[in-house]
Amino acid sequence: MINKEALLKQEKEILYNKSMATNPIAGSGFTPRPQISNTTRPTMNRLYCGYNNSDNSSMLRTMDYREIISELNTSLKGKTNPTDFYSSLNAILTRKLGAQFTAVGLYQEKSKCINIKLIDKIGGTYSTRIFLSDETNPIVEAFNKQEILIKRDSDFLKLSYLQYSTVAIIPLISVTNCLGVMIIGDNNVEEHTDLYSLIVNHYALFMHNANLIEQTNAHANTDSLTSLSNHRGFQEILSHELEKAEKKSSTLSVVMMDINNISKINRELGHAKGDEIIKLVAEKVKQNIRSGDTAGRYGGDEIAIILPNTDTNEAKYLAEYLTYSLSCCFVDDVGPIKVSVGIANYPQCAKEQEKLLVSAEQAMYISQSKGYKDGMSAIISASDFNFWDDLALHSFAEVLTKRHSQLGVNFEEELVSKFANEDISSQHHLEELASSLASAIDAKDPYTKGHSTSVSKYSEALARALNLPEHEVQRIRLGALLHDVGKIGIPESVLKKPTHLSDEEWEIMKQHPIIGAEKVLMKNEALKDLAPMVKYHHEHYDGSGYPYKLKGEEIPLEARIVAVADTYHALISDRPYRKGLGVEKACEILQSGAGTQWDAELIRMFIQIAPALATTI
């Protein structure tokens, strides 16, 4: 009697062998991506016969499952990348359990499909996608029902040389979510379904955790209000882009935008209105930047943009377009949106990440100070202004004061560093530099505003009264302007104390002449000859002063001149504990200390010119 089933199987094998002779994956819905391992590939006959080799069953029946589980544990331990995890899993299933292939299908909610990646036992990889609308497909059926399906052949995969494999389609279920399916081709699959289920469940948990970590990381670097990168995410991206710019020797610009009056809007109209404006600005920025650019919410009302391969002029063009677009946006009860804009360029303005950001913020503050022209924001680049300009210094102080806790660098330290490294090109440059630094120092002490400038003028007047050479007069004028430069290193709690200093605080204050001379002026070649005036202007003629207790003419003449001018201005200035003295009373005090605290000849000369100074300064 003819066995019809045997004949049918024989016919299929003949057709199969013909198809393999021409195109082994003819008619396949898979896109082949050959990634064959380095192991010696079997011959054609061994390959296809081996896929149906029933001898695997005897090997598997004697397999020590404890050994398999131990190897799984060893191979998968420490894996954090889903691709690496699946590759290790596939290697064990095909090598140890005799599986002919494995495939992972992960569900994509947006496209309503299952993306499948298959790896066979010789390392070939294939991929396809199955849409959920194909309800007759066993993969879709297993996914929808969340049940294990066993198929006697793998025709539904449309891979000719795999079509005789028995296949298990196991849903990837973690907690209550079905993430997709795992497909295992193994003629002995029914004997090991429980083991396969255990392995697949472990893989599902891994994928679930990987998805959670990805979502957490995305959320950690994304601002919830604007959907832009948050401060942390922005910093990470900027670091990466700067590394690329350095390797490629290319430029990069940072645009910093501050939404004006947002605090007033929050206070008067509520935070909901402020949030509305911030979201609108963020949306406009997202619409108008290029695909390779990155925008982030840098602060509460600040949005920053990273522009790779962009010079300053190109960044200005984008900033101008953005400010124009925002000025056309009218918000109820607020009107047009106005922003202040600062730009800094790598490597033109700075090469270090923090300095680049500080430069952009400084430019933004200058833009804020300059306001609007013809209804448009002043767009300022860090390359547009002189650092030692009063407005630039004030803006720099604002930025570093705000960010001191982040950077660990205060305004004074950075200022001294820049001052010491400044390349002084002319006398005018030197005078401008000294004036700016003196203003910054006086700003630390609200009770001595303008003190350095006044002491400089008094010292110059006294030097002229002594008929000193003009070049020496000018040197004394500059030295007197910087006589308190060392106060930049004294804590504000000491400088601004409204009452008398304690002994410990006084010892700290007495360090400022040395700090000024050695840590500021001596660091710059053009300023070294001013150091004696700064270092010794608190020495007393009788040797009772500080820091070195010099006496008489051991104290340089220029330092003795500055000492008189410094004391006189202190006497006539208002202090928190007393009102400023009149000229006559101040001169009486100077006279009483002539020959002990100050040079008697200088006091005599100064008292003669003091009345005239009071009317001109």
Neighbours of 484 (CB within 10 A): 26
User: In this predicted structure, what is the pLDDT of residue 202?
Assistant: 83
Joined tokens for residue 193:
């379904």
Give the residue numbers spanning the domain of 227: 222-403
Task: Please report whether residue 4 resides in a domain.
Answer: no
Q: Kindly state whether residues 444 and 528 are assigned to the same domain.
A: yes
Q: Kindly state whether residues 483 and 615 are assigned to the same domain.
A: yes
User: Is the separation of the CB atoms in 312 and 253 below 8 Å?
Assistant: yes
Q: Kindly state whether residues 103 and 211 are assigned to the same domain.
A: yes
Torsion of CA 388, 390, 396, 398, to 10 degrees: 160
Query: How far, rounded to the nearest angstrom, does the alpha carbon of residue 47 sit from its chain's CA centroid?
Result: 54
Joined tokens for residue 126:
């294939």
Q: Kindly state whether residues 267 and 378 are assigned to the same domain.
A: yes
Last residue of a domain, one of 218, 252, 278: 218
Can you tell me the distance from the alpha carbon of 511 to that of 490, in angstroms, rounded to the nearest whole number?
Answer: 8
Task: Please report whether residue 17 resides in a domain.
Answer: no
Q: Which amino acid is at 273?
A: K
Joined tokens for residue 490:
């004294």
Round to the nearest angstrom and report the end-to-end CA distance of the chain. 129
Phi, psi of 25 (to 5 degrees): -120, 30
User: Is the separation of the CB atoms in 94 and 123 below 8 Å?
Assistant: no
Can you tell me the distance from the alpha carbon of 100 to that of 165, in angstroms, rounded to the nearest whole number?
Answer: 8
Task: Please report whether residue 103 resides in a domain.
Answer: yes
List the Cα angle 69/74/78 in 5-degree steps: 125
The CA distances from residue 53 to 58, 99, 159, 302, in Å, are 11, 11, 18, 67
Q: Kindly state whether residues 284 and 362 are assigned to the same domain.
A: yes
Can you tell me the distance from the alpha carbon of 400 to that of 394, in angstroms, rounded to the nearest whole number?
Answer: 10
Can you tell me the distance from the alpha carbon of 114 to that of 139, in angstroms, rounded to the nearest whole number?
Answer: 9
Beta-sheet pairing, 167-174 with 252-259: unpaired
Beta-sheet pairing, 339-346 with 379-381: parallel
Can you tell me the distance from the alpha carbon of 277 to that of 261, in angstroms, rounded to the nearest whole number?
Answer: 11
What would you report as the CA-atom Rg of the chain, rounded to the nearest whole angstrom? 40
Last residue of a domain, one of 188, 218, 248: 218
* CATH code of residue 231: 3.30.70.270
Q: Kindly state whether residues 434 and 364 are assigned to the same domain.
A: no
- From the list 370, 298, 361, 309, the residue with the least C-alpha distance to 338 is 370
Q: Kindly state whether residues 190 and 230 are assigned to the same domain.
A: no
Q: Kindly state whether residues 73 and 209 are assigned to the same domain.
A: yes
User: Is the separation of the CB atoms in 105 and 182 below 8 Å?
Assistant: yes
Residue 523 gets which letter from DSSP? Answer: G
User: Is the separation of the CB atoms in 367 and 378 below 8 Å?
Assistant: yes
User: In this predicted structure, what is the pLDDT of residue 42?
Assistant: 39
The residues, ordered by sequence, that sit 6+ positions from 434 with a Cβ below 8 Å of its Cβ are 478, 481, 482
The CA distances from residue 501 to 49, 255, 508, 535, 577, in Å, are 96, 46, 10, 21, 12
Q: How many domains are contained in the chain?
A: 3
User: Is the separation of the CB atoms in 611 and 580 below 8 Å?
Assistant: no
Phi, psi of 466 (to 5 degrees): -85, 0
Tell the burial category of 18 from Cβ atoms under 10 Å away from its Cβ (0-12, 13-18, 19+).
exposed
Strand, helix or coil at 555?
coil
Task: Please report whether residue 566 resides in a domain.
Answer: yes
Task: Please report whether residue 132 resides in a domain.
Answer: yes
Task: Please report whether residue 587 resides in a domain.
Answer: yes
* CATH code of residue 520: 1.10.3210.10
The residues, ordered by sequence, that sit 6+ positions from 472 with a Cβ below 8 Å of its Cβ are 463, 558
User: In this predicted structure, what is the pLDDT of residue 615?
Assistant: 52
Strand, helix or coil at 278?
helix
Q: Kindly state whether residues 132 and 86 are assigned to the same domain.
A: yes
Query: How far, rounded to the nearest angstrom, does the alpha carbon of residue 456 sit from its chain's CA centroid?
Result: 43
Can you tell me the distance from the alpha carbon of 550 to that of 558, in angstroms, rounded to the nearest whole number?
Answer: 14
Phi, psi of 391 (to 5 degrees): -65, -40
Q: Kindly state whether residues 541 and 455 are assigned to the same domain.
A: yes
Task: Please report whether residue 6 resides in a domain.
Answer: no
* CATH code of residue 35: 3.30.450.40
User: Is the separation of the CB atoms in 289 and 314 below 8 Å?
Assistant: no
The CA distances from residue 352 to 129, 321, 348, 402, in Å, are 46, 28, 11, 19
Q: Please write the tens of the pLDDT for every residue from 363-419.
A: 888 888 877 665 567 888 988 877 667 677 667 766 666 654 455 445 566 677 777
Q: Kindly state whether residues 134 and 149 are assigned to the same domain.
A: yes
Last residue of a domain, one of 354, 369, 403: 403
User: Is the separation of the CB atoms in 394 and 368 below 8 Å?
Assistant: no
- From the list 359, 344, 237, 383, the residue with the least C-alpha distance to 297 is 237
Element (H, E) at 167: strand 167-174
Q: Which residues in the chain come in under a pLDDT of 50?
A: 1-2, 7-8, 12, 14-61, 404-405, 408-409, 616-617
Residue 575 gets which letter from DSSP? Answer: B
Q: Please write the tens of the pLDDT for every residue from 408-448.
A: 445 566 677 777 777 777 777 777 777 777 776 766 655 55
User: In this predicted structure, what is the pLDDT of residue 412?
Assistant: 64
Task: Please report whether residue 337 resides in a domain.
Answer: yes
Residue entry with tokens 């220029």: 558
What residues pair up with 182 in beta bridges, in sequence order? 104, 170
Q: Kindly state whether residues 591 and 486 are assigned to the same domain.
A: yes
User: b/e string for 330-342 if b means 16 or more Cβ within 10 A?
Assistant: eeeebeebbbbbb
Can you tell me the distance from the alpha carbon of 563 to that of 570, in angstroms, rounded to the nearest whole number?
Answer: 11
